[in-house]
Amino acid sequence: MSAAAATGLQLAHSRGLRTVLCCVCRVPCTSRNCWRVQINAYTRVVAVLLDTRYQSRRSHQSLLRHIGRLPSLQQPRSTLTVESFALPPMSTAQYLPQDLSEKDHVSDSDQTVTDIADPSSTAVPPSSTTAYPALHDQHHYAIPHDAAYHAAHPDVEKGDPRELTNAISRRRTDRIYIEWEENDPEDPFNWSRTRKWVVTVVANLMTFMVAFNAGAYTPGQAGMEETFGVSRVAIICGLTVYALGFGVAPLVLAPLSEVYGRNPVYIVSFLIYTVFFIECALSQNLATMLVGRFIQGCAGSTGSTMVGGTLADIWHSDERGTPMSMFATVAMVSTSLGPLVAGYINDGLGWRWIHWIQMIVCGVCCIVFVLVLRESRGSVLLSKRAKKMRKETGDQRIRAPADDERASLAVLVKVSLTRPLWLLISEPVVFSFSLWLAFVWGILYLFLESIPLTFQTVHGFSTSSVSLVFLAMTIGVLIGAVLDFTVQQPLYLKSAQRSETGQPIPESRLYSSCVGSLILTGGMFMYGWSSREGVHWIVPTIAVAMVGFGLYTIYLCVFNYLSDIYGRYASSALAAQSFLRNMFGAGFPLFTVQMFNKLGFAWASSLLGFIALALSAVPFVLMKWGPEIRRRSKFASNLE
């Protein structure tokens, strides 16, 4: 018997396995001289060490080729075929007992693997939940001990493999897992480009509507102040609670999309979002308005946070640049267009019609979403396919991997609430980027209040005329989008030529934000010191465009960079920055009026400019020391 096969049996016995199930005859074998036992044990070792689930014919062939290259195997390579082994379509690690205690999986942490190809090596791989996910996430064959089994089943004659096999078949909880085929048309990554772009455009339409409402609230504040008989600061709270809902709700709604899919969450949340326009339009007091705005913020947050996930579901990483740029552009442009359109509605029809018109448009959008949007989360689609196959075939063993790997909703919510916070306090990259973008996002919401204050006070603009100033921010965002498409994305793809792995360097995402952060800083100083009598209104308007350019480049940079370096933890990293970003967005409008009145327009903007200048060092630091920081990261380093 080979040393490696002995290692496999040692591993099996250390896990509590007393009877090894042959991978050919599918009956328990106890003879250590059986070549089938050797192959099965060896296969077990390779599968565990490689942490691979061999669920298809192609995977079996790959595993057997790997085994055949190892010198310790005594069986001729000519016999190493899928037909001779008849490997079942599941991980070989699944042949371990189901009823093992947790300590059996996580002990022996001091043992290491010396060399998988060394026939003299008898070291057992370290046990951990990370190294052996199949031991924890999957259902396994329950193999009974010989003596215990025969004591419980005296009617089964010893040594009769057929009877014993039948008994095991009655007790086992095996699974047949299905996966996407390479060119499966139902796999979202294999959808036609037309279908992908239709889904992308419709998802961005939702982003447009929820971001539009953030800015559309501002022009009606004077009318609400008069109707409700409250102060301007109290009315501004409607903007604050909307951003607060954007920050808090995704921590709970994101796990729902993991379990039930994105489409149901989209439809239900946007329907709630649309209905609560009625409450806002009919509100007779500030409390009713604030409740409606907060619920709208919670429901509408899916249009801001989940759309990025939808794009990741259907576009490969090397194709995602343009769709993500489109998403960032829509989010920024719609926020600045909201005050423009709502300003004219307020002047002509009053503040209540700002909400009525939005409700009508969103109602039409709801119909479009129901008719056009399709589920894009691959794991959910695969689970539905498995359920359909179980119903058609009657074979209850058919499962999608996510059916057994997916944690409960309570666990998902717990992880969604805790992991972003942990990343925020333990990862320097997440903290610095989140703080940087949070400050920038606070400036965006601050401008929703400061632009009307500045241009009405200094230049005597009407409400509708002030709304036109927000077009400057839109122009700045569009210039940033053009720069990203023509300069930033080519530079990012070109960086792959300098990479040892052949993949683009994550730090090459930062080029445009280095420029944008400096332009944003200059725009803040220019906006403050030109907002005075004697200076033409076009000067602060140009400054607004500069700020819009900086906002866009930083926003897109943070999304792409965190997605690149944190891989499977990207959703948690983005949730961390989204939470902090919207908290800043909620807080900044509350002190805008007081700060500009106390410090003056020049020094209030200068204060923000100095902070922006300090934070503009973030991309430059990461350009120089980013790779080293990633190597020291507990999360990012595991992905390299």
Dump pLDDT digits (tens) for 264-312.
Answer: 999 999 999 999 999 999 999 999 999 999 999 999 998 888 888 888 8
Residue 99's pLDDT is 37
- Least-confidence region, from 113-122, 196-205, 224-233, 497-506: 113-122
Name the residue among 273, 276, 280 with its Cα closest to residue 223.
Answer: 280
Q: Is the pLDDT of residue 15 over 60?
A: no
Q: What is the Cα–Cα distance from 518 to 553, expressed in whole angstroms? A: 11
Residue 610's pLDDT is 94
Q: Is the pLDDT of residue 425 over 50?
A: yes
| Highest mean predicted confidence (pLDDT) among 31-40, 53-62, 442-451 | 442-451
Residue 531's pLDDT is 85
Which amino acid, 387?
A: K
Q: Is the pLDDT of residue 21 over 70?
A: no
| Highest mean predicted confidence (pLDDT) among 181-185, 275-279, 426-430 | 275-279
Confidence of residue 407 (pLDDT cuts 50, 70, 90): low
Contact criterion met (CB below 8 Å) for 281 and 352: yes
Q: Is the pLDDT of residue 391 over 70?
A: yes
Contact criterion met (CB below 8 Å) for 232 and 292: no
Q: Is the pLDDT of residue 6 over 90?
A: no
pLDDT tens for each residue of 87-101? 333 333 333 333 333
Residue 56's pLDDT is 40
Q: Which residue has the tokens 């953030």?
A: 214
Confidence of residue 562 (pLDDT cuts 50, 70, 90): confident
Q: What is the Cα–Cα distance from 280 to 295, expressed in whole angstroms? A: 11
Q: What is the Cα–Cα distance from 527 to 224, expressed in whole angstroms? A: 28
Percent of all residues in the chain with a pLDDT value above 70, rounded to a whole number: 71
Q: Given 1.20.1250.20, 3.40.50.300, 3.10.520.10, 3.50.50.60, which CATH number is that of 419-640? A: 1.20.1250.20
Residue 636's pLDDT is 66
User: What token pair was written down for 578?
Assistant: 């989204």
- To 10 degrees, the CA torsion angle through 20, 24, 27, 29? -40
**Which neighbouring-strand residues pair with 176?**
398
- According to DSSP, residue 142 is labeled -
Contact criterion met (CB below 8 Å) for 292 and 319: no
End-to-end CA distance of the chain: 38
Give the mean pLDDT of 581-592: 90
Residue 354's pLDDT is 94
User: What token pair was written down for 69?
Assistant: 């290259």
Contact criterion met (CB below 8 Å) for 335 and 212: yes
Q: Is the pLDDT of residue 23 over 60?
A: no
Q: What is the Cα–Cα distance from 158 to 150, expressed in whole angstroms? A: 8
Confidence of residue 392 (pLDDT cuts 50, 70, 90): confident
Burial class of residue 189, CB neighbours in 10 A (0-12, 13-18, 19+):
middle
Confidence of residue 639 (pLDDT cuts 50, 70, 90): low
Give the mean pLDDT of 399-414: 74
Residue 285's pLDDT is 92
Q: Is the pLDDT of residue 215 over 70?
A: yes
Q: What is the Cα–Cα distance from 346 to 341, expressed in whole angstroms? A: 9
Residue 289's pLDDT is 94
Helix, strand, coil in percent for the chain, rounding step 5: 75, 0, 25
Q: Is the pLDDT of residue 72 over 70?
A: no
Give buried/exposed letters for 32-49 (b at 16+ CB in 10 A, else e). Answer: eebbbbbbbbbbbbbbbe
Percent of all residues in the chain with a pLDDT value above 90, rounded to a whole number: 26
Q: What is the mean pLDDT of the chain?
A: 74
Confidence of residue 638 (pLDDT cuts 50, 70, 90): low
Q: What is the Cα–Cα distance from 640 to 602, expressed in whole angstroms? A: 47
Any idea how long the chain is?
640
Q: Is the pLDDT of residue 225 over 70?
A: yes
Contact criterion met (CB below 8 Å) for 619 and 266: no
Confidence of residue 488 (pLDDT cuts 50, 70, 90): confident
Residue 288's pLDDT is 94
> Is 1.20.1250.20 the CATH classification of the domain at 189-375?
yes
Confidence of residue 178 (pLDDT cuts 50, 70, 90): confident
Residues 6+ apart with CB under 8 A from 116: 45, 46, 49, 70
CA count, 13 A, side-chain hemisphere, 425: 4
| Highest mean predicted confidence (pLDDT) among 69-78, 83-92, 155-164, 172-181 | 172-181
- Alpha carbon 103 to its chain centroid, in Å, reads 32
pTM of the model: 0.68
Confidence of residue 355 (pLDDT cuts 50, 70, 90): very high
> Higher pLDDT residue, 513 or 628?
513
Give the mean pLDDT of 445-451: 88
- Positions of CATH 1.20.1250.20 in the chain: 189-375, 419-640
